[in-house]
Structure formats: C-alpha cells, structure tokens
Structure 1
C-alpha cells in the first residue's frame, strides 16, 4: 500500500491522548491516526448517504431513528451476558 508522508499539527492534549490511545492499542501513532481518519471518512460517507436517501424519500421519522439507535447500540456495546 502506498503511503503519503504528512506533517501535521495537533493540539497538545490531542497529540498526547492520541499517542496514549495508540500505545494502548499496540499501534504506532501513524497507524492509529490512519485508522481514526478511516473511521471518520466512513461516518461522513454514511451521513452523506442518509442525506441523499432523505432527499429522495423524505426525512426519517423519530421512530425510524430510535430503531436505528437501538440497532447501533446493540452492535457497538460489549456483550453483557
């Protein structure tokens, strides 16, 4: 995989917390930041898809949003059994 080297600036506390999170995950800071950026991109793409769907079909109802929240919570929280 090709990589592009960048020079970035982060708030000091963000840099420290990111470095700690990377170490706790057993990743380099670069790999951790790459993973975080990939997650943020997927979220933005998903939100754009929802906006596009709503333009064609109308806004999601409160009930539909509540259902989606329940589904997401069930797949993202640790197994409580």
Structure 2
C-alpha cells in the first residue's frame, strides 16, 4: 500500500486522547488518524446523500425516524426472510 507522509498539528489534549485510544486498540497513531479521516469522509458522504434524498423526497417524519430498523438490515446487507 502506498502512503503519503504528512505533518499535522493537534491540540495536545486531542493528541493525548488519540494516542491513548490507538494504544488501547494496538495500533499506531498514524493508523488511528487514517481511520478517523476515513470515517469523517464516510459520514460526510452519508450526510450529503441524506440531504439530497430529503431534498428530492421530503424530510423524514418523526414517525419514520422512530421506527426500529429491521434486524435483516443491521448488517448492512438485506437478508432473505
């Protein structure tokens, strides 16, 4: 895998928290930061998708938001019932 080295600046408390979490997970701070950036980009893409969906179909109602998610969808794959 090809990587690009970068230099970033973090608040000391944020760095300490990230380092401690990385150590708990048995990974490097570099890998932890990479995962955090990827998650941020996934969340951003999801937010943009949902905004686009709601612009086309209308906002979700409180009733829709309160419905439980069927277990068949929890894994991210529709399962045969």
- TM-score category of the 2 structures, normalised to the smaller one: 0.7 to 0.9
| Structure number with larger C-alpha Rg | 2
Between Structure 1 and Structure 2, the one with more helix by share is: 1
Pair 1:11 & 2:11 matched: yes
Runs of 4 or more consecutive aligned structure 1 residues displaced over 4 Å after TM superposition:
none
Q: What is the correspondence of 1:61-72 to structure 2 with a 5 Å cutoff?
A: 61-67=61-67, 70-71=68-69
Q: What is the correspondence of 1:31-70 to structure 2 with a 5 Å cutoff?
A: 31-67=31-67, 70=68
Pair 1:28 & 2:28 matched: yes
* TM-score, with length taken from structure 2: 0.79
1:66 Cα offset (Å): 2.1
* TM-score, with length taken from structure 1: 0.79
Q: Tell me the C-alpha RMSD between the 2 structures.
A: 1.2
Gaps of 5+ in 1: 76-81
Instruction: List per-residue Cα deviations over 1:36-79 (Å, max 9, x = no partner).
Output: 11111111111110000011101111112222xx44xxx5xxxx
Gaps of 5+ in 2: 75-81
Distance 2:7 2:14 in 1: 15
